[in-house]
Structure 1
Amino acid sequence: MIRSRDEPWIRVEDASAIGATRRAATALAEACGFDEHDRGRVAVAVSEAASNLVKHAVEGTMLIRPHPEADAAVEVIALDKGPGIRDLTRAVRDGYSTTGTLGLGLGGITRMASVHEVYSLPGRGTVVSMCFTATDEPPPPLRMSGLTRPIGEEVVCGDAFAYVEDGGTAVGLLCDGLGHGVAAAAASREAVRVFQDHHDLPVTQLLERIHRALAGTRGGAVAIARLDRERGLVRYGGLGNISGWIVHGEGRQGMVSMPGIAGHQRSRLREYEYALPPRALLVLHSDGLSDRWDVASFPGLPARSPVVVAATLLRDAGTRRDDATVLAMRTAP
Structure 2
Amino acid sequence: METTVTVDHPSRVAEVRRAVAMLGQTMGLTPELIAQASLVASELCTNILKYAERGQIMIRTLAADGMAHGLDIVALDRGPGIDNFDAALKDGFTTGGSLGIGLGTMRRAAALFDVYTAPGLGTAVMVRMHEKRAVVPADEGFAVASLMTPIRGEIVSGDNWSCLRFGQSLAVAVVDGLGHGPKAAEAAHAAIDSFHRGVRDAGPAQTIDLAHQALKTTRGAVMAVACIDAQAQTLRFAGLGNIAAVVFTAGESVRLGSTDGTVGYGSRRARESTADWSPRSTLIMNTDGLSSRWTLTRHPGLLACHPLLIAAVLHRDFARNTDDATVVVIKAL
The TM-score with structure 1 as length reference comes to 0.90
CA distance in 1, matches of 2:4, 2:151: 11
Amino acid at match of 1:111: R
Structure 1 residue 66 and structure 2 residue 61: aligned? yes
Asked if 2 retains the 8 angstrom alpha-carbon contact of 1:116 and 1:131, the reply is: yes
TM superposition shift of 1:174: 0.4
Question: Quick one: which of 27, 47, 50 aligns to 1:52?
Answer: 47
| 1:62-141 superposed matches below 5 A | 62-67=57-62, 69=64, 71-98=68-95, 105-136=102-133, 139=136, 140-141=138-139
Relative to structure 1, the CA distance from residue 219 to residue 14 in structure 2 (aligned partners, 3 Å threshold; closer, same or farther) is same
Asked if 2 retains the 8 angstrom alpha-carbon contact of 1:96 and 1:105, the reply is: yes
TM superposition shift of 1:224: 0.4
**1:165-190 CA distance string (max 9 Å, x none):** 21210010100111211111111111
Partner of 1:40: 35
| 1:277-316 superposed matches below 5 A | 279-316=280-317
Asked if 2 retains the 8 angstrom alpha-carbon contact of 1:239 and 1:260, the reply is: yes
Q: Which has the higher mean CA deviation after the structures are superposed, 40-49 or 52-61?
A: 52-61
Asked if 2 retains the 8 angstrom alpha-carbon contact of 1:232 and 1:331, the reply is: no
SS of equivalent residue, structure 1 residue 64? strand
Asked if 2 retains the 8 angstrom alpha-carbon contact of 1:279 and 1:331, the reply is: yes
Partner of 1:202: 203
Asked if 1 retains the 8 angstrom alpha-carbon contact of 2:303 and 2:310, the reply is: yes
**1:290-331 CA distance string (max 9 Å, x none):** 132232322222222111111111111211121110111113
Relative to structure 1, the CA distance from residue 165 to residue 21 in structure 2 (aligned partners, 3 Å threshold; closer, same or farther) is same
Relative to structure 1, the CA distance from residue 236 to residue 58 in structure 2 (aligned partners, 3 Å threshold; closer, same or farther) is farther
Asked if 2 retains the 8 angstrom alpha-carbon contact of 1:115 and 1:138, the reply is: no
CA distance in 2, matches of 1:258, 1:118: 37
CA distance in 2, matches of 1:8, 1:193: 25
TM superposition shift of 1:94: 3.1
Give the paired residue count: 327
**1:87-122 CA distance string (max 9 Å, x none):** 2111122332348x9x98333333332321111121
CA distance in 1, matches of 2:153, 2:252: 34
Structure 1 residue 179 and structure 2 residue 174: aligned? no
Structure 2 residue ranges without an equivalent (≥5): none
SS of equivalent residue, structure 1 residue 157? coil
SS of equivalent residue, structure 1 residue 274? strand
Relative to structure 1, the CA distance from residue 35 to residue 250 in structure 2 (aligned partners, 3 Å threshold; closer, same or farther) is closer
TM superposition shift of 1:278: 5.2
SS of equivalent residue, structure 2 residue 228? strand
Percent of aligned pairs with the same amino acid = 32
Structure 1 residue ranges without an equivalent (≥5): none
Partner of 2:244: 243
CA RMSD of aligned residues (A): 2.4
The TM-score with structure 2 as length reference comes to 0.90
Asked if 1 retains the 8 angstrom alpha-carbon contact of 2:187 and 2:219, the reply is: yes
Structure 1 residue 193 and structure 2 residue 190: aligned? no
